[in-house]
Amino acid sequence: MKFEEKTIDIIRRTHDVKSFRFRRPAGFDYKPGQYILVSLKVEGDMVTKPFSLSSSPTEKNHIEFTKKLTGHPFSNVLDNMKIGDFAVISGPFGKMTFEGEYSKVALLSGGIGITPMISICKYCTDMHSDVDIMLIYSNKTENDLAFKQELDEMMQDNINLKVLYTLTRASESWTGCRERICENMVVRAIPDYKERLFFICGPPAMVKSMEDMLTSMNISGDMIKKESLIGY
């Protein structure tokens, strides 16, 4: 489906992350974890880039994608976008989806790779699903933690959702985890990891290293779903 819609809301998530909301057109159905193609006029030309939906299909009135602002031309057009400005959107696309097909899942996310995980967590929470979700969310600093408040609120509403935040360059006051996601952390945080379906999303290098790590932990390929944010 391809449509042109006005921006109805813009939400600043962190110093360099913003979410963009559009009215959800009738008939636009998608699964948690899928992505859209967003086309904008950049320096006179239409430019198209993929973005995971950070909204959940349970949210009937809007769809949302979330952009890490890079200072590059496409990003700057989005950064300067005002409510009422148009974007051309097509989709949905992607196979890294989850609608509760498995009773226990582990989500491994790096940086802006949190976006499809937000869709999955929101969907399961809104559906009152009893799927056991363990999300490990890695970032550099406290200031980079997009959606932390939303995840903390979801954990209040969904006893089956647990989130482990880990920061590789945390300030001294951070009392949480400080490592990159590694085998040791997975074994400690997810002792029943062998019973879980894994989802990985983040920059390509992170996705590759997580996949290699899970393979070395004897997790078979059919228990790993992944989305690499190529271009980021």
Ligand X SMILES: Cc1cc2nc3c(=O)[nH]c(=O)nc-3n(C[C@H](O)[C@H](O)[C@H](O)COP(=O)(O)OP(=O)(O)OC[C@H]3O[C@@H](n4cnc5c(N)ncnc54)[C@H](O)[C@@H]3O)c2cc1C
CB of 72 to ligand X, least distance (A): 3
CB of 202 to ligand X, least distance (A): 10
Is residue 19 involved in binding ligand X (CB under 6 A)?
no
Is residue 46 involved in binding ligand X (CB under 6 A)?
no
Nearer to ligand X, 186 or 210 (CB): 210
Is residue 70 involved in binding ligand X (CB under 6 A)?
yes
Is residue 7 involved in binding ligand X (CB under 6 A)?
no
Name, in order, each residue with C-beta under 8 angstroms of 214's C-beta and a sequence gap of 6 or more.
198, 200, 223, 224
215 in Cβ contact with 222 (< 8 Å): no
The one segment of 43-51, 80-88, 144-152, 166-174 that binds ligand X by CB under 6 A: 43-51
Is residue 51 involved in binding ligand X (CB under 6 A)?
yes
Integer Cα distance of 22 and 117 in angstroms: 20
Is residue 75 involved in binding ligand X (CB under 6 A)?
yes
Nearer to ligand X, 30 or 65 (CB): 65
Nearer to ligand X, 132 or 144 (CB): 144
Question: Quick one: the chain helix, strand, coil %, rounded to 5?
Answer: 25, 35, 35
The one segment of 23-31, 72-80, 136-144, 150-158 that binds ligand X by CB under 6 A: 72-80
Structure-block tokens of residue 11: 């939400």
Closest CA to 106 of 187, 189, 198: 198
Helical ranges in the chain per DSSP H? 73-79, 114-126, 148-157, 183-189, 204-216
Is residue 50 involved in binding ligand X (CB under 6 A)?
yes
Per-residue contact string for residues 107-126; x = within reach of ligand X by CB under 6 A: -----x--x-----------
Integer Cα distance of 185 and 183 in angstroms: 5
- Backbone angles phi and psi of 160, in degrees to 5: -90, 0
Integer Cα distance of 59 and 197 in angstroms: 25
Residue 41: strand pairing partners: 46
Is residue 66 involved in binding ligand X (CB under 6 A)?
yes
CB of 140 to ligand X, least distance (A): 14
- Touching ligand X, residues 213-232 (CB under 6 A): 227, 229-232
Integer Cα distance of 94 and 46 in angstroms: 22
> Which residue in the block uniquely carries the two structure tokens 């196979």?
95
Binding residues for ligand X, rule: CB under 6 A, are 35, 49-52, 65-68, 70, 72, 74-75, 94, 112, 115, 227, 229-232
